[in-house]
Amino acid sequence: MNCQEAQTQLSEYLESSLDALRMKSIETHLLGCPVCRAEADGLADCIQEIARLPIVDPRSNRVLGRGYSRRSDSPCRCKLAPLS
């Protein structure tokens, strides 16, 4: 597995939605590849951040929900830089 293969499947890997064989091969790749491991870490942050997103009422465009604050030290790149 090369980096591109690993990175295209990172989000599925983090959601554990790959089959066992692919999970294992990505896991193995991450162990030996600091670049992809950093990518996986960043993506995991993004996934957590998205899970914490407040519900927005589309009619008023107001943010519902409380306690949401964006961590400025970890800018989420999910939408800005989709994995290719």
Binding site for Zn ion (CB under 5 A): 3, 6, 33, 35-36
Kindly tell me which of 67 and 82 has the beta carbon lying closer to Zn ion. 82
Nearer to Zn ion, 3 or 53 (CB): 3
Q: Are 10 and 43 in contact (CB under 8 A)?
A: yes
Nearest Cα residue to 8 out of 51, 39, 34: 39
Show contacts of 56-59: CB within 8 Å, 24+ apart: none
Choose between 35 and 53: whose C-beta lies nearer to Zn ion.
35
Min separation Cβ 36 and Zn ion, Å: 3
